[in-house]
Amino acid sequence: MAVVVVAGGLGDLGRPITDALFESGKYEVYIMSRKIVDNNLNSERISPLTGKGYLPIIQTDYSSEDSLAEQLIAKNANVVICAFPMDSDSVCDAQLRLIRAADKCLCVRRFVPSEFNVEYNVGDDVLPYPEKRFHLTARQELAKTSMLEYAYIYPGMFMDYFGMPQVASSLRPLCFCVDPASGQAVLPGDGEGRMSMTFTTDAARYVVLALELDKWPRIMTTVTSTVSMNDLVRLYEKSLGRKLQVRYQPVEKLLKHDTIDLPINVTIAKDYPDRFPQGIRGIVADLEAAVALGGYDLGKLGEHLDLVKAFEGKAPAPKRIEDLIEEAWKPVSIQ
């Protein structure tokens, strides 16, 4: 058993990880948060380590390395999991301070950085994603540490996006490649690019299971499905019982953000104007270009540990993409 601190543990991915930790019943779990939370979120928990009650929220602004270290030491933290959305310099700096703080603490043995996607240490010819610089900066900081065992955990794309809004998810809405409600699909390249993916709750469960390993390899994956975008369309068509209008976008146009917008993303951009200051089109175009270029096919990874195989039979069967689409888009679901 151990004390685990989840930084950003109330966020889109942090919340499922925190929930999975609590559900395991094996860890004393703390949530680092900038938010001022209400009493319901900070209600007393019983520690499986001591049998005593404790409050799980650690209020912090991540501005002081020394203050972070003091907070980790005060809780006798053994593992720190960072679940920040790595989309700005300020968030990147907060993770760097957290890494340095954790390395100062003799009690902290393990650190999981906010990687939770795909391999970032590749060129733009594979992953044309400007924000990967934040992840690479964190890797450089982790390489300087002297005390920490750390690992990168890759789920690939979060499968939730292909079931929204029919399937409940902690993630905020965004649409890639297929807009089933409008009957349209716009695929990158020739549509044969493959995407590895995991549902958020499954990814969170495998992150927690990884804590049971005696030794961490540098890279671990939680991938439960990998399909081409053409195959993805066929799965939708099978569940919907009708054909989609399918168009293809050249990678060259995607890289220039000269793209066809799916109707649902136009609506999302209007409904969440402050969420995409850099533009929803650029986010979607960069990701879809990466799919066509092979950046999301984790079957091409080198040496790594497949957590799904490692814990087969020891964990509930994970959700597969064909099951998710059938659950979300079979005709009875269409209003």
- CATH number, domain of 258, equals 3.90.25.10
CB atoms inside a 10 Å sphere around CB 113: 25
Q: What pLDDT digit, counting tens, does each position of 230-239 carry?
A: 999 999 999 9
Last residue of one domain, picked from the residues 116, 150, 184: 150
Reported as a single tens digit per residue, the pLDDT across 296-325 is: 999 999 999 999 999 999 889 999 999 999
Average pLDDT over residues 275-279: 64
The pLDDT, as a whole number, for residue 55 is 93
Is residue 216 one of the residues assigned to a domain?
no
Domain assignment present for residue 283? The answer is: yes
Last residue of a domain, one of 133, 150, 167: 150
- Distance between CA atoms of 155 and 157, rounded to whole angstroms? 6
Q: How many domains does the chain have?
A: 2
Whether the predicted pLDDT of 334 surpasses 50: no
**First-to-last C-alpha distance (Å) of the chain:** 47
CB 194 within 8 A of CB 220: no
Q: For residues 243 and 180, what is the distance between their CA atoms, to the nearest angstrom?
A: 10
Residues 278, 326 within the same domain: yes
pLDDT > 90 fraction of the chain, expressed in percent and rounded? 87
Question: Of 225, 319, 291, which is closest to residue 16 (Cα–Cα)?
Answer: 319
Q: What is the CATH number of the domain that holds 74?
A: 3.40.50.720
Contact between 265 and 166 (Cβ < 8 Å): no
Whether 179 and 322 share a structural domain: yes
Lowest mean pLDDT among 1-10, 104-113, 273-282: 273-282
Query: Within this chain, do residues 73 and 105 fall inside the same structural domain, yes or no?
Result: yes
pLDDT above 60 for 277: no
Residue 278 predicted with pLDDT over 90:
no
pLDDT confidence bin for 280, thresholds 50/70/90: confident
Domain shared by 107 and 185, yes or no? no
- The secondary structure element, H or E, covering residue 80 is strand 79-82
Q: Is the peptide bond before 217 cis (omega within 30 degrees of 0)?
A: no
Give SS3 for 4: strand
Quote the pLDDT of residue 39: 65
Asked whether residue 118 falls in the same domain as residue 56, the answer is yes
Residue 163 pLDDT: 95
Residues 91 and 181 in one domain: no
Residues 117 and 18 in one domain: yes
In a domain, 43, yes or no: yes
Same domain, 33 and 181: no
Burial of 138: CB neighbours in 10 Å, binned 0-12, 13-18, 19+: buried
Are both 131 and 172 inside the same structural domain?
Answer: no
Between 37 and 245, name the one with better pLDDT.
245
What is the model's pLDDT at position 332?
Answer: 52
pLDDT tens for residues 56-90?
A: 999 999 999 999 999 999 999 999 999 999 989 99
Taking Cα atoms as reference points, which of 311, 133, 139 lies closest to residue 224? 311
Is residue 52 domain-shared with residue 164, that is, in the same domain? no
Q: Are residues 87 and 137 in the same domain?
A: yes
Structural domain includes residue 254: yes
Question: Can you give the pLDDT at residue 35?
Answer: 79
**What's the mean pLDDT when you consider all of the chain?**
93
Task: Judge whether residue 136 has pLDDT over 70.
Answer: yes
- Residue 201 lies inside a defined structural domain of this protein: no
Domain that holds residue 290: 158-196+225-299+316-333
Q: What is the pTM of this model?
A: 0.94
5-49 per-position pLDDT tens digit: 999 999 999 999 999 999 999 999 999 998 777 666 788 999 999
**pLDDT beyond 50 at 335:** no
By C-alpha distance, which of 15, 5, 27 is closest to 72?
5
Clarify whether residues 182 and 266 are in a common domain: yes
- Which has more pLDDT, 283 or 142? 142
